[in-house]
Amino acid sequence: MADVSVLNNRKRAGTRRRSGVLAPLFSLYSRESFGVGDTEDLKLFVDWCVKTGNSIMQLLPMNEVGDNFCPYESISSFAIEPVYAPVGRGSFKLSARRVRADYGVKGKKRELLRRMYIESGGILPAEAEKFRRKNSWWIEDFCMFKVLKRRFGFRPWYEWSDAYRNRSSSALKEVFSAERAEMDFEAWVQWFLYERMREFKAYAGEKGVLVMGDLPVVINRDSADVWAHPEFFKMELAAGAPPDMFCVKGQRWGIPGMPTYDWEKIEGGGWRYIREKLKYAEEFYDILRIDHVVGLFRIWSIPIEEPLENEGLNGFFDPPDEKLWREHGRKILSAMLESTGMLLCGEDLGVIPDACPEIMKSLGIPGIDVQRWKKEWRGSGDFLPPEKYRQLSVAALSTHDTSNWNDWWERESSAREREQMGKLLGISVHPEGKASPKITEAALKFILEARSVFSIQLIFDWLNLSPGILKGWQSAYRINTPGTVSGNNWSAVLPVFLEELMSNGVCDKIRTLIAESGRLP
């Protein structure tokens, strides 16, 4: 079976060179949207992709999240975030452009969804009932988790009373009986979002645009997944990253910490947890990016009792034996390939063992090559030219976890890096490292000419082709700074309405560059 899956993934990647754009939904908004971009705005962004010649739209995780609105700390691997529901459109129009995503509208959107539900009769229509039966493996637990969160004052599930924390059968029966109406509403919300996401994917497909989703490597400890299936997690551990030059204490993901997976138990369950996740994601995406794919080979694990201030210190790799990493990752990735028709890609950045890119290549899984880190590390340290990029990869100037390319050029790159990159770009560089539309254009041409089958650029890198769109400091458009908790993370938005972006001259500039690189659909 694995051999067939490998061939299928290679076939899905194909040899057709494509260009794409990475844009979180929370960064997009139209004149009609309410507080934050919604699924209707995604359709408008599909139109922008068509106009510019981009045939891949990459999104960040769309799953429901907790209070910090980090898309990589979801409360479910399945449920869609209600803040993206297309409700209230046109009733709360903006007269000015936004500065940050307004997640405060989530409560209001839930009220509007409840009103819609009540006005429709307060019962699940036949299609919603069918959806609920089809997804019974996860949705009943999720709906119960949601109502119990409210019952217990939104405290984490591991602080609930014993009967509910440990899922006593009598306690769960009581909840199902007492909270049936509320559970029905939660199921209806997820059905409503499912239908909207399916409509978006169909619209993108009609326009020839592939949708790339994102699969986080771990999940929030306070989630429906962990509450319903604690056997699939190592509850005594928290996932993170070891100390490095960027984070001297390393990283500990989430508070008190996201548990790592117990892969032996997941495999013992016939990989159903993984199969169900991928089956549901396939309803919405054509391509799926596996976040921190090296974590499937070995993951940095921190004892849960370790003081929070120590962050990622005093952790260890699991499995601890490096000789096991290759087969460990191969087995998990092979199971994933056998479980889906989506093209799988892997985010293989950072310090990674050789086994990771080697196994990915053997399985036909594209990695990611980011320009600022694509260097001859075992030699001169110089940047690699575009023809030295991996063919089976996504070429990018930036990611959601980095500064945009102009910001990197001006504030982070060294004089030597700018000089060497200037030679590769064939341009003279400003002695003080100042960026310009000319340098941006040269960088985009460079990354579009990469040998990589896909070239996907951050929306803010595309927009820097035109000097009048991104106003103020480039750092204001950074999506996330790893290892930090800040209101500036996961809230950056475009400085223009999507309607205005559609008519901006930058669209023609982007299309010309993509056409010249041979990546037009």
Contact yes or no for 198/283 (Cβ under 8 A): yes
pLDDT of amino acid 2: 47
pLDDT of amino acid 245: 76
Average pLDDT over residues 328-344: 97
Average pLDDT over residues 147-166: 97
Average pLDDT over residues 424-428: 93
pLDDT for residue 146 is more than 70: yes
For the chain, the straight-line distance linking the first and the last C-alpha, in angstroms and rounded, comes to 32
Strands (E), 47-146: 56-58
Q: Which of 82-96, 106-120, 124-138, 289-303 has the lowest mean pLDDT?
A: 82-96
Which residues, listed in sequence order, are joined to residue 290 by a DSSP beta bridge?
A: 215, 346
Q: What confidence category does residue 5 fall into, taking pLDDT thresholds of 50, 70 and 90? A: low
Question: pLDDT tens for residues 284-325?
Answer: 999 999 999 999 999 999 999 999 999 999 999 999 999 999
Q: What confidence category does residue 208 fall into, taking pLDDT thresholds of 50, 70 and 90? A: very high
pLDDT for residue 472 is more than 60: yes
Give the integer Cα–Cα distance in Å for 397 and 471. 20
Strand, coil or helix: 225: helix
To the nearest whole percent, how much of the chain has pLDDT over 90? Answer: 87
Contact yes or no for 297/280 (Cβ under 8 A): no
pLDDT for residue 520 is more than 60: yes
* Sequence-ordered list of residues with C-beta below 8 angstroms from that of 180, at least 6 positions apart, any chain: none
CB count within 10 Å of CB 141 equals 19
pTM, 2 dp? 0.96
pLDDT of amino acid 1: 44
Phi, psi of 261, rounded to the nearest 5 degrees:
-80, 150
pLDDT for residue 486 is more than 60: yes
Burial class (CB in 10 A: 0-12, 13-18, 19+), 107: exposed
DSSP of 24-64: -GGG---SS--SS--HHHHHHHHHHHHHHT--EEE----B-
Residue whose pair of structure tokens reads 């694990």 in the numeric block: 301
Torsion of CA 373, 377, 381, 386, to 10 degrees: -50
Average pLDDT over residues 75-101: 85
pLDDT for residue 18 is more than 50: yes
Question: pLDDT tens for residues 243-285?
Answer: 987 788 999 999 999 999 999 999 999 999 999 999 999 999 9
pLDDT for residue 25 is more than 80: yes
Residue whose pair of structure tokens reads 């990674």 in the numeric block: 352
Average pLDDT over residues 103-132: 95
